[in-house]
Amino acid sequence: MQYVIIYLHGFLSSSQSLKAAQTLEFVRANYPDLTIEVPQLPNYPQNAATIIEQLVAKHKGKKLRFIGSSLGGYLSTFMVEKHSGKAVLINPAVRPFELLVDFLGEHVNPYTQEAFLLENNHVDELRQLDTPSLKAHSDYWVLLQTADETLDYRQAENKYQNYKLTIEQGGDHSFQDFQRFLPDIFRFLLQD
């Protein structure tokens, strides 16, 4: 059975982000026949979930594998719990609906230059994608750096405590030197 890798970027990020580019470059160099999708996710949670669901449907019958950064980690968890599969989560958001309250109002995505308005209904959309408990059969590997300036890494450490965790002291929200993990990430994702 074939695998499909779906890379999900975070809030106010892009499919053109450094980690996304490093992942694509690694796949092209090492797994040229592997299917990888790196969608540009909309700024609104329900719209982003719809795009991901369309990709899942497009690859029906393949083994789903996700790499999710920040909010992309939150969305990856929702998709794995709903459709099964495996995921590597990089500094994942655990309760982003709590944080988004501080971001209500107008924004411009720094990558796409798209202006958008976050409202209370978007907080509700995020809450609907929450996975308060995880199924035992799901496979996760969570990469955390303790100096993440955006998210409290301990939330993810607690939520994913029964799964594979790599916690590095220092770093930041972008997860410094992410690319050094790519060989191990793909070994993890491409085994059953």
d(CA 132, CA 128): 11
- Domain formed by 3-189, architecture: 3-Layer(aba) Sandwich (3.40)
pLDDT value, residue 136: 65
Q: Is the pLDDT of residue 137 over 80?
A: no
> In this prediction, what percent of the chain has a pLDDT beyond 90?
89
Q: Tell me the C-alpha distance between 14 and 187, whole Å.
A: 25
C-alpha to C-alpha distance for 6 and 35, rounded to whole angstroms: 9
Torsion of CA 116, 79, 101, 14, to 10 degrees: -40
Please state the pTM of the whole predicted model.
Answer: 0.96
Residue 1 has pLDDT above 80, yes or no: no
Q: What is the DSSP letter of 47?
A: H
Mean pLDDT of the chain: 94
Residues 6+ apart with CB under 8 A from 177: none
- Non-local (6+) Cβ contacts of 98 within 8 A are none
* Reported confidence tier of residue 99, pLDDT bands at 50, 70, 90: confident
Domain boundaries, the chain: 3-189
- 24-62: per-residue pLDDT in tens? 999 999 999 999 999 999 999 999 999 999 999 999 999
Segment among 3-12, 130-139, 183-192 with least mean pLDDT: 130-139
Phi then psi for residue 65, to 5 deg, are: -135, 130
Using the predicted structure, report yes or no on whether residue 111 has a pLDDT greater than 90.
no
Maximal CA-CA distance, the chain = 45
Query: Residue 171 above 70 pLDDT?
Result: yes
